[in-house]
Amino acid sequence: MKAVVLAAGEGTRIRPLSASLPKPMLPVADRPLVAHTVDAAIDAGADEIVLVIGYEAATVREYFGETYRDVPISYAVQDEQAGTAHAVNAASGRLDGPFAVLNGDNLYDPDAIARLFEEAPAVCAIEVDDPSNYGVLSTTDGTVTDIVEKPADPPTNLANAGAYAFPERAREWLEVPQSERGEHEITDVLAKVIDQYAVTPITLERWLDVGRPWELLEANEWKLGDLERRIDGDVSDEATLEGDVVVEEGATVRSGVVIEGPALIRSGATVGPNAYVRSATLIDEGAKVGHAVEVKNSVLSPGATVSHLSYVGDSVLGRDVNFGAGTTVANLRHDDASVKFTVKGERVSTGRRKFGVVAGDGVKTGINTSLTPGLKLEADARTRPGETVDRDR
């Protein structure tokens, strides 16, 4: 079975991290987000992956090439992001026989994707507390009987998780009318399949739609939590590594460093001396953590640098960010309420008691900068020495 993986979108809700990098290519543990989806499809038996690309398409092509894990990779270009059915339709000329469709910005339970392929036609679903924000599935005797988009009065708590195994005939139904949102929705295709076939619901134990920066943190918490300890890099005898810590070949951990797993120190990264890294942290390729720096539950993207005497907690730093010495991230409100963050111009709750800063690519802070909780720094933003930054810039 061929698997269509949707990776064309920019990800406006996750900006500034997507300012020059497509959301599916953001780092989750040791690979881009979309690579976890592609791996799940290959492990489930996909004999070809069709990647639908658009925004910053060259980045996706460069990573996957023409083959990935000995499986052929082909590409379909969605020039206009006009919905999920529109995206799959862009790939239709490369399809023959039954096919799967997976979202490249979702994390799935890999075992469930294997069951999805086995039970085709099928759709992945997950039980949620508030299904009114999702497409909601109704089932009878183990078969899906209906799907309703974001109903005010949901008939069940079974939410559509955006993974499908379609019969070949579904290719004929990809040109669906625009929905009320002005998009061509894959759920309209699913509705047609439900009318014509017995569609099996595949219930997920775990699933994550990565749409906003704190969900990227959650994705890393998930995948870093799956690590098994491995030390291949250059680690000082005077460093302490506790728990499931991975230090890749080419990484350096200097004297006096304490790392409490789960943590991943990628090739080319350096930590220390006398630094403290803990609680689901990714130090990506070429990133640097300097003397007496503490990094907690954070993502440092490739090339990011946190200089000496700094603290970074519950934060995401984009590529080539440089935090000057003494930069301190505050990640907790004094009233202990959930931290808010600006998404598409609106302040929304992250649902997290602790959440720090999201810094776009190329941000630089002056020495002794203080950054307040839930702060967004756009790509290439600058701060002055000694400045307290308490609003987005």
Per-residue model confidence as pLDDT tens digits over 47-79: 999 999 999 999 999 999 999 999 999 999 998
Residues 191, 272, single domain; the answer is no
Per-residue confidence at 152, pLDDT binned at 50, 70, 90? confident
pLDDT band for 117, please (50, 70, 90 cuts).
very high
Of 157, 181, 210, the residue that ends a domain is 210
3-state helix, strand, coil in the chain (%, to 5): 20, 35, 45
Amino acid at 3: A
Residues 236 and 350 in one domain: yes
Q: In terms of domains, do 165 and 282 share one? A: no
| Domain final residue pick, 175, 210, 245 | 210
* Statement to judge: residues 26 and 109 lie in one domain: yes
Asked if residue 357 belongs to a domain, the reply is yes
> Same structural domain for residues 205 and 233?
no
**Residue 182: pLDDT over 70:** no
**pTM of the entire predicted model:** 0.95
How crowded is the C-beta side of 173, counted as CA atoms within 13 Å? 17
Given 155, 180, 210, the domain boundary residue is 210
* Distant-in-sequence contacts of 378-384, Cβ < 8 A, 24+ apart: 378/15, 378/16, 378/19, 379/16, 379/19, 379/20, 379/318
Q: Of 86, 184, 308, 334, which is the active-site residue?
A: 308
Residue 216 lies in a domain: no
Number of structural domains (the chain) is: 2
Does residue 185 sit in the same domain as residue 227? no
Q: Are residues 52 and 199 in the same domain?
A: yes
Q: Which pair of tokens denotes residue 99?
A: 């096919």
Token pair belonging to 35: 């690579």
Catalytic residue at 308?
yes
| Structural domain of 52 | 2-210
In single-letter form, the type of residue at position 220 comes to N
Domain with residue 359: its CATH number is: 2.160.10.10
Q: 250 and 341 share a domain?
A: yes
Locate 28 and state its tokens. Answer: 């989750």
CATH of the domain at 13: 3.90.550.10
Residue 365 inside a domain? The answer is yes
Mean predicted confidence (pLDDT) in 235-240: 98
Please check whether residue 57 lies inside any domain of the structure: yes
CA–CA gap between residue 251 and residue 253 (Å, rounded): 7
Asked if the structure places residue 175 within a domain, the reply is yes
